[in-house]
Every structure is written in structure tokens, then in C-alpha cells.
Chain A
Amino acid sequence: MVISMINLTLYKKEMKQNMLIFLIFVSLTILYGVIVSALFDPVAEGLGWMQIMQETYPEMLDFIGFNVAQFNDYQYFVSGYLYGMLFILFGLIYINILSNRLIYRYLDRGSIVLLLATPNSRTKIIITQIKVLGTYIFALTMSMFLITGGFGAIFNPAYVDFGKLFYLNISFCIMLTFICSVMVLCHCLFEGKLAQGLGIGLPIIFFFMRLVSNLGDNYEIASYFTPFSLFNPMLCINYDALSFVYNGILIALSIVLFGFTLFGFNKRDLSI
């Protein structure tokens, strides 16, 4: 079903052409994954420098998304240091680069007409491009899972819970897919700088809203204006029922936005 909705030739070409960027981001993930995994020391005597920082400047660390609830739990440790800010930023930048390369650039330059001058519908072409994005988002989050899980197992095998890490990364994948749907929608509906600006601007605004909402009760209202609130690593690690609800909401919103994208893309005038 999914195969028939995409053009396999185009899919393979795009997968091949975007492999290098994927490998660069996986390398970055490995770099940070190794560092954070190596820093985890569940039996450390006294406070580590990060604990000292967290106790001294909690608001600042909250603001930049470094928030570790338990320093002797690998899952909390990893999610606090990587999934609060770093991996989210990696994901945002990566999706934006991909969406630019796979959709915005083709529409802006007009090269999309070359693809549409073949016997393939607009829907099929755009679904193929979205499928490439989806594949790479899944691959990136699974790399994150394997890297954090793998290095954790090397350094502290007794503390790694692969099931929890897997669910954390699946939830993260769903979050990134939603962000992807926002970017793709902007790139398909709008033109020129507006498309590019909204494509990266909206997710960045969402991201900073999340950071602001971390600052405490006074700023909690910001959490209602960012979809990043629907990705809570702590809830995921504890398999909290609310995380399943959040994931369901994100999936539903993504489907709706991709639906708007298909509709808008089919109605859009193209360069000739």
C-alpha cells in the first residue's frame, strides 16, 4: 500500500543523495552519546560537577534543558542531558536541512516540474519526499537509541534499560515527525523567504517556548503554546499513560498537517 503510494525510483535516489548528511548527524550523535554515557557514574562519591551546577544554578540548567532528575539512573541521566535540548536541536536542524533539500529547494527553483512531467501525480511525488524524511527521522532516532543504549551497555551495562530507551526514542521520533509536518506544510504552502522563515522559525519559537516553560510555575503558561510539551522524556521513561496520550495527539496532529500539505501542494501553482 505504502509502496504503491510512492515512487520507488525517486525514493531510492533521495535516500542515496541525503545519506552523507545523515551520517554527519549520526557522527554528532555518537560524539555526544559517548561523552554523556561516559559521564554517567552511578556510584560516584560526592557530587559531580554537573550535580553541583544543577544545585547551584537550577533555573539556568532548566532553561537550557539540562535537567537530570536522578543521577544514579542511566535513563534519567541520558534523557536529562541529551533529550532536553541537544538531541532536539540536532533533530530540528536535521529535519530543516532535509525538508529544504527535499521540498523547499525543488519548489523554489522549479525543478519539481521535472518530476511532475513524468507520469506521477503530485500526491505521489510529495508523499515520496515525505517518506524519505520519515525514513531518515526514524533512522536518526533509532541511531540515537542504539548509541545511547550501546555505549551505556559498554560503560555501565547493569544500568541500561533498552525497553525504556527504545520507547523514549520512539516518542522522540513521533515528536520530530510532528515538527517535520510543520516544516513541510510551510515549505509546501508558502513561497520564498516566507516558506523558509516559517519552516525553521515556528519550530524554533516552539523550542524556546519549551525552554521558557521549564523555568517554573510563573512561566508554565508557555508550555501550552509549544508542541514540545507533548514530549516529556520523564513520562516516557516511566511508561506513563500520559506519554501514550501525548504520542497519540502528536500522531493525530501530524496526520492532519500532512493532509493539509497534500491538499495545499495539489492546489499550488508551480514554476513553468
Chain B
Amino acid sequence: MKGLLTKDFMLLRNQSRTLLLLLACGIVMSLSFDNEIVIMYLGIMGGMVAVGTLSYDEFDNGYSFLLTLPVTRKTYVREKYLFCVGCTIACALIGIAAALVITKVKGGAAGEMPTAVDVLLTLAATLAVLLIFMSLTIPFRLKYGAEKGRIVLYAFFIGIAALIVLFNRLGGGEADSLPESLNLNLILGALLIIGIIAIVVSEQIAEHIMAKKEF
């Protein structure tokens, strides 16, 4: 596990320019929009970049060699989930720190510190989206490879877009006029629970896929 984590961190570190660019984009977005948007943005980007390490592992028949190292197939899967979820949380935490700094920098009315509830809600929303995304994409990528795995990525974003449209229609285009039964906090809580259940089930499926796979 330690060796795999070291490998993934090394791969991430070698993309530090891209990561810094992503951080800069997040900060610019926060300066222009909500202070908290950087939390969600960085969390999502962190998770997606972490999932991207699967492509590095797969590239040039990399799995074959990787699995000759002291690592079982099960450990590989567990490490990948741990790494992806860990990266999402770590990046979201960096996002929280960035949001607080941005709020201070903005000052005035826009400089009002986000409440703990706002931050937790944003964190929960980020995690919920990423957990569901990873639950779908990791097993699919392990089974079909990075190329076909992109199909899931596109399907996921189309699904998210469809959900937004659906919510808009339900609320008549105004987020504030959502039906009272569709309490945002409840929806987020439910989504987070669904995300956690999905990631646990997904990890089991991924272990099964990896056990069957031939390299």
C-alpha cells in the first residue's frame, strides 16, 4: 500500500504545474463569484486528477509490471479508492483555506466570513458528487480501460446537467422557489449517504473486476 501511495503521489507531484494552474483558476473563479466556489472546484479537480492516475497505471501495459511488485490486486484497488477519496478531501480542505483567504482579501460586504454551515454544506456537496463520480468511473475504467472509461465521464456530466435542468423545472427556474419538500440540506445529506454507500459497493465491484482481469 505504501509503495502504491508513494507512486501515486510521485505521479501527482510531476503534474504540479497543472495542479497550480487549477488552483489559480479556482482562486480567479472565487474572486468573480461566490467565495465558497473554490472549495467545490478544487475538491472536484483534485478527485478527477487522482482518478486520472488510473490512466498512468494503464499506459504502456503498466498494470502488468505494477502487479509484479509486492502488491496484491485487492490492495491495488483499495489504495486507488483511498488515494482518490483522500485527494478529494485534501483538495477540498485546501479550497476551504483558499475561500477564507479570498474572503479576507475581498473585504467589505463580500468579505463576510462563510459560516461553518455554508462550508460544511459545500464540502458535503463536493464529496457527494465526487463519491458518486468515482463509484461509477473507477470500476468502469478498470474493466474497460481509460478510453472507454471516458464514456462514463461524459455520461456522468450529462446526468448532472439533466439533474440541474430537472431541478430548475421543478423550481420554475428559481432556486429559491424549490418546493419546500425538496429541502436542500436534506437532498445534500441524502446524496452524501448515497455517495458513501455507492463508493463502498463500487470498491467491492472493482475488487471483483480486478480479480478476474488478465494482464
Pairing of A with B:
no
